[in-house]
Amino acid sequence: MIQALILIAAALVHSLALAADPAPNRATADNGMALLQRVAQTAMTLSYSGVFVYRSGEREETSRIARLVVDGQELERIEVLDGSAREVIRDGKEVKCFLPGENRVIVERPAGVRGFPALLPVDLAGLEQNYAVRIGRLERVADTNCQALVLEPRDALRYGHQLWIEPNSGLLLKAGLVNKQGQVLESFTFTQFSIGSTFARQQLTPSAESQSGRVQQVQSSEPRPGEMKWVIEKLPAGFRVNKVMMRRAVKPAAASVTPNTQDVVHFVISDGLAAVSVFIEAAAANKPNEAITTAGAMNFYQRQIGDHRAIVMGEVPLVTVKLIGDAIERR
């Protein structure tokens, strides 16, 4: 899902690049791209608050979002309204997940990883080998006429994406991840949306309850020369390794911080839209050799390789995580 939205961003670049030299059969796809561009235009520099419903598999939750963009700096807080209090704050690239029910705060701070917009010249042609971009019809969503847009997978190794865009504002009102049978695996829909930074600033600060959790902070960086002992070469069609990182726990600054000193290898694999992560950690072989888990749109595959355990996850069909997991080899 996230990848779909990223792709939208990428698609925009693509449409501009193609504008200079359009191939005749690209008309539909390019119209789709133009529409996506509009979505993106609306979203940038946009401060807003709203409520959205997220459905994944059989579950459904409602969350409140407040997002403030000032001088290109973004600050965003999402608070889950159902069940136990949980929230995420995104401050630039840093993501903090507060899970007060578990007394935990997960901090993910990418380092040495290039972000937008430097990465933007992308391999969109590759994407179109994996997905067909198609403009759908006007459909009513949330009592509003929306333009449907479909990114249809060309094989069974990835899911499709459906987007509903309000044509006047370019607002993305709804997005869904669909399997080959047309079943929606995951979707989100805004039920309330107010544009502008009119919300109270407290909406951007974590609740006191959330802040008391023990902090687990991890820094990711490029592997040192000779450090990488793993390789994934025989990937399923259309997928490639985009990035390899070492995840290192940030040394505890206070006693309350749980140290997790083990370094973990993290591969990021993508087909241009769907992303799959592979984590390889040192682990004793005390679990089943292989295990497959499905949770909503996401599939997991765990595989014991000697004294290491590989965990493969992504919003892709089960067969894809398994194929990727089975392609892991020691260098």
Partner 1 sequence: MSDRDLDRLLVERVQRGDKQAFGLLVTKYQRKLARLVSRLIWNSSDVEDVVQESFIRAYRALPDFRNDSAFYTWLYRIGVNSAKDWLVSNRARISATSAVDIEDVENYEIAEHHRDNDTPEEVLMSKQIAATVNAAVADLPEDMRMAVSLREIDGLSYEEIAEAMNTPVGTVRSRIFRAREAIAIKLRPLVSAGADKRW
Partner 2 sequence: MNNKLSALLDAEHAGNDLDSVCLALSDVQLRSDWADYLLIGDALRAETKLGFDISAEVMAALENEPTVLAPRLLTTPPDAPQTRWFRQMTALAASLAGVLLVAWVTLTFSANETVAPTIQIASAVPIVQPATELTSTTSDKLPDHLQDYIVAHQAHSSAGTLAGGSRNVRAVSATRGVP
215 to 274, contacts with partner 2 by CB under 8 A?
216, 218, 220, 235-240, 242-243, 245, 247, 260, 264, 266, 268-273
Number of residues that bind partner 1 (CB under 8 A): 18
Q: Which does 28 bind (CB under 5 to 8 A by kind): partner 1, partner 2, none?
A: none
Give yes or no for residue 141 binding partner 2 (CB under 8 A).
yes
**Residue from 68, 312, 316, 323 that binds partner 1 (CB under 8 A)?**
323
Question: Could you say which residues in the range 294-313 bind partner 2, by CB under 8 A?
Answer: 294-296, 298, 303, 311, 313
Query: Tokens in use for 240?
Result: 């490639």
Give yes or no for residue 9 binding partner 2 (CB under 8 A).
yes
Give yes or no for residue 290 binding partner 1 (CB under 8 A).
no
Give yes or no for residue 179 binding partner 2 (CB under 8 A).
no
Question: Could you say which residues in the range 97-126 bind partner 2, by CB under 8 A?
Answer: 97, 99, 101-102, 104, 106, 108, 110, 113-117, 119-123, 125-126
Give yes or no for residue 176 binding partner 1 (CB under 8 A).
yes
Q: How far is CA 18 from CA 108, 248, 263, in A?
A: 36, 41, 42
**Residue from 179, 203, 219, 260 that binds partner 1 (CB under 8 A)?**
179
β-strand pairing of 214-221 with 104-110: parallel
CB 331, min distance to partner 2, A: 20
For 2, residues 6+ apart whose C-beta sits below 8 A from its C-beta are 275, 315
Q: Is 269 exposed, middle or buried (0-12, 13-18, 19+ CB in 10 A)?
A: buried
For 83, residues 6+ apart whose C-beta sits below 8 A from its C-beta are 61
How many residues are recorded in the chain? 331
For 144, residues 6+ apart whose C-beta sits below 8 A from its C-beta are 166, 173
Cis peptide before 117 (omega within 30 of 0): yes
Residues near partner 1 (CB under 8 A)? 55, 58, 137, 139, 156, 176, 179-184, 187, 189, 317-319, 323
